Amino acid sequence: MRADSRGRTAELRELRERVRHGPSEKATAAQHAKGKLTARERIELLLDAGTFHETEQLRRHRAQGFGLENKRPYTDGVITGWGSVHGRTVFVYAHDFRVFGGALGEAHAQKIHKLMDMALAAGAPLVSLNDGAGARIQEGVTALAGYGGIFLRNTRASGVIPQISVMLGPCAGGAAYSPALTDFVFMVRDTSQVFVTGPDVVKAVTGEEIGHDGLGGADVHAGTSGVCHFAYDDEETCLEEVRYLLSLLPANNREQPPRVPSADPPDRAGTALLDLVPADGNRAYDMRAVIGELVDDGEFFEVHEHWATNVVVGLARLDGHVVGVVGNQPARLAGVLDTRASEKAARFVQMCDAFSIPLVTLVDVPGFLPGVAQEHGGIVRHGAKLLYAYCNATVPRVSVVLRKAYGGAYIVMDSQSIGSDVTYAWPTNEIAVMGAEAAADVIFRRRIAEADDPQVVRAALVKEYAAELIHPYYAAERGLVDDVIDPAETRGTLVRTLDMLRSKHADLPYRKHGNPPQ
């Protein structure tokens, strides 16, 4: 070891270079052979070039036993630090699968704890790049306690700073709960899996045989379980989309989402909307096409695209300002609300409210999905989640009734009665307790049954009920919508209304926290 300062500095540079290079060429080749990038390559893709500041690069574990005392690699299998994304500070940690398979031990966990504390103190987003084999078994309960510290910090940071989990490899056992506590989960097909108990345990306990991807792969969690919000075919695309999501979110709950100047005229006419949405309530259309006509440059970042597809949620911009959009999807189950759709929309509304993102709700809902499975599955409980989320939200809220808005589902979809700041309706709107045909069957059941020609009488009574109670201006006449607007003017109307609401301030009664339905 060289004693002079220049010599010591040179040795430090050599050491850091060895650490950055990783444990071995063989380990790096094995990672690449699986179609996976290394932890540092991932960080380079996520952050702006040259902005990464690593913390505790020279940290090593102090564990004894099972040969650990003879294997003490620097970083201890996790790379932590901060950098910038689109010029804004972001904290990141990345499991290095080449070191202990990315398994978490005491030192590994303490590095993550420190970084999470730094992110919360700095008020900046936290991104975790997950690729680890779970708890380091050789360190026993100490490793489990490390996970507990992560979960505690995930919970304390919830709603304070954006937390994004990117699944780039295996995530099993207790490790799976940290992503579940964060705001968004990204996964990559074929290389990332998330499950509490793996295929071998499932087979031993239940006799079911299933592969890793079939049990906890990206498509399973994106389309069946709802654990994953976004699924992509490769890591490069996945990390680029994480960067885009970060561009739509504020740094923390005390700041507004970043505004990006838009060349799309705020009062651009949406004449295509007149043809996109059929006046016939029984005809389907794609709500995403409507959203594309309304938002800046047609750019809509859909969340949970493949799960609970009868409701659409996502982020977009209107006149450069970020908004959260919730809309029923008539192209799927006629746009009804069911257990999954209610839960999906509720959590999205809560996220937007936590991070000061105004809400735009596009309503075309025939009701809640009927059936024994829905009732036994807790549709009352799940529907109440969405109701609670809207009622509790203090961000600017604007709703537009495009077509059908029936029964309790109309109330839940941010109606004026539960606190929507401004409510608009198109001339095609049908706001009512239920559709005219169903209502006539209930109200005039005896008259129809006793008629000489029940079908003719029924048709006349359906027409009478619709003319009296479901005409487009009934709700407006009673102040339940603020205005009936030309569909082509919807974009401009939304821009002006949200601009008016920009300084909205609303206080909820003092409480430790609410007790939302579960």
**DSSP annotation string for 462-483:** HHHHHHHHSSTTHHHHTTSSSE
CA distance 39 to 59: 16
Average pLDDT of 332-350?
97
Is the predicted pLDDT of residue 2 greater than 70, yes or no?
no
Distances (CA, A) of 273 to 283, 291, 461: 15, 10, 32
Mean pLDDT score across all residues of the chain: 91
Overall residue count recorded for the chain in this entry: 518
Give how far Cα 517 sits from Cα of 342, 346, 382, 430, Å: 12, 11, 7, 29
Give the mean pLDDT of 461-489. 85
Active-site residues, by number, are: 173-174, 408-409
- Highest mean pLDDT pick, 55-69, 133-147, 297-311: 297-311
Out of 179-183, 228-232, 286-290, 474-478, which region has the weakest mean confidence (pLDDT)?
Answer: 474-478
Confidence (pTM): 0.93
| pLDDT (0 to 100) of residue 457 | 74
DSSP structure string for 107-162? HHHHHHHHHHHHHHHHT--EEEEE---SB-GGGTHHHHHHHHHHHHHHHHHTTTS-
pLDDT at 341: 97
* Res 347 pLDDT > 90: yes
Q: Where are the alpha helices (DSSP H) in 158-271?
A: 177-181, 199-206, 212-216, 218-220, 235-248
Query: How far is Cα 497 from Cα 88, in angstroms, rounded to an integer?
Result: 29
What percentage of residues in the chain have a pLDDT greater than 70?
Answer: 99
What pLDDT shows up at residue 470?
76
Quote the pLDDT of residue 140: 76
Q: CA 97, CA 93: separation in Å to the nearest integer?
A: 13
The stretch 491-497 carries a mean pLDDT of 98
Domains and CATH numbers, the chain: 5-248 (3.90.226.10), 272-429+472-501 (3.90.226.10), 434-471 (no CATH)
Q: Are 492 and 266 in contact (CB under 8 A)?
A: yes
Mean pLDDT, to the nearest integer, of 505-518? 89
Given this model, what pLDDT does residue 245 score?
Answer: 98
- For residue 1, the model assigns a pLDDT of 54
Per mean pLDDT, which range of 90-94, 104-108, 338-342 is the poorest? 104-108
Q: How far apart are CA 407 and CA 252, in angstroms?
A: 37
Residue type, 293: E
Q: Which helix (H) or strand (E) holds 186?
A: strand 184-188
Higher pLDDT, 67 or 401: 401
Query: What is the distance between the alpha carbons of residues 216 and 167, in angstroms, rounded to a whole number?
Result: 11
In the numeric block, the tokens 């029984």 are attached to 282
Residues 357-378, mean pLDDT to the nearest whole number: 95
Give pLDDT, residue 458.
82
Euclidean distance between CA atoms 173 and 135, whole angstroms: 8
pLDDT of 23 strictly over 80: yes
CA pair distance 39, 123, nearest whole angstrom = 24
Percent share of the chain, pLDDT over 90: 67
Indicate if the pLDDT at residue 244 is higher than 70: yes
